[in-house]
Amino acid sequence: MFPDDAACAGYLEQLRWSGGFTCPSCGTGTTPWRQTRERLVCPVCRHQASTTAGTIFDKTRTPLTTWFEAAWHLTNSKNGLSAKTLERTIGANYRVAWAMLQRYRVAMVRAERESLYGDVEVDETLVGGVGHGGQRGRGSDKHLVVIAIEVRQPKGFGRVRMRHISNASAESLAPHVCDVVTPGAVVLTDAWRGYDALPKHRYTRRKTVLSSSGDPAPVSMPGVHRIASLLKRWILGTHQGSIAGAHLQSYLEEFTFRFNRRTSRSRGLVFRRLLEQAVVGGPVTEADLSHGYEWKAERPSP
């Protein structure tokens, strides 16, 4: 479908201005003049708009066909792929492959705006701990992740959301629950007092049996337990267990994007959704890439 960059640019243009072209400079909804396949000119203010300006593709030197190929592999392989594998698959260098994946992960965050609802299990788990060379890591290599997952009736699970947190205090846990779970939902937790404030935030808290620290108990938290083990397997398998703490949140977003679309019948739709988010959101800065993507609440607090 995408033999060259012009075809890719045309597709992105359709996604970006699906309701018709709007000038990014003067805001006029109008029919633009076309300078090149990628460059449109506003007839009102003469602003030159590029399809990729202000998106995750901003100022890229990588051909769009390579970006599209990467997006296709990312959305069509069951477990995604590491930068090393992508490097081999598309013949880009490692740094380029890594940065492409990282930019797509930012687009994936933007695709997960709708809050979880109904009955939601929430618990923390530790990930990481195996450093380079396969040695058991010190405590500092372990990262705490809080997982929230919808429980469906009579059985099964819905969508998931995750966040890398620094500790399991109420100050870390409550904001995450408020950001990802719709008020009024029933939140299933263990007896940890870090969740005591939830009723104040209009949640019904239901305590399941007491679980010991560390991994979530498989019986009382089957959804969280399942996600935790899938996540650990994915990090060990696809990424050889090596994810820097600064970038962990980005990987959690990728896992979430794929898990929440696991029942999608059309891989083509998932591909389209990813590229849609890639052009409607803002650009990704070099700082985002080198310091790790800073997770931000998607909704203003009420």
In the bound state with Zn ion, the residue whose beta carbon lies nearer, of 47 and 84, is 47
In the bound state with Zn ion, the residue whose beta carbon lies nearer, of 28 and 89, is 28
CB of 29 to Zn ion, least distance (A): 10
CB of 23 to Zn ion, least distance (A): 3
In the bound state with Zn ion, the residue whose beta carbon lies nearer, of 48 and 182, is 48
CB of 43 to Zn ion, least distance (A): 8
In the bound state with Zn ion, the residue whose beta carbon lies nearer, of 43 and 214, is 43
Binding site for Zn ion (CB under 5 A): 23, 25-26, 42, 44-45, 47
CB of 50 to Zn ion, least distance (A): 13
CB of 221 to Zn ion, least distance (A): 53
In the bound state with Zn ion, the residue whose beta carbon lies nearer, of 27 and 63, is 27
DSSP string, the chain: ---SHHHHHHHHHHHHTTT--B-TTT--B-PPEESSSSEEE-TTT--EEETTTTSTTTT--S-HHHHHHHHHHHHHSTT---HHHHHHHH---HHHHHHHHHHHHHHHHHT--SPB-SEEEEEEEEEE-B-GGGPBP-GGGEEEEEEEEEEPSSS-EEEEEEEEES--SHHHHHHHHHHHB-TT-EEEE-S-GGGTTGGGGT-EEEE-S---SSSPPTTT-HHHHHHHHHHHHHHHHTTTT---GGGHHHHHHHHHHHHTTTT-S-HHHHHHHHHHHHHHS----HHHHHH------SS---
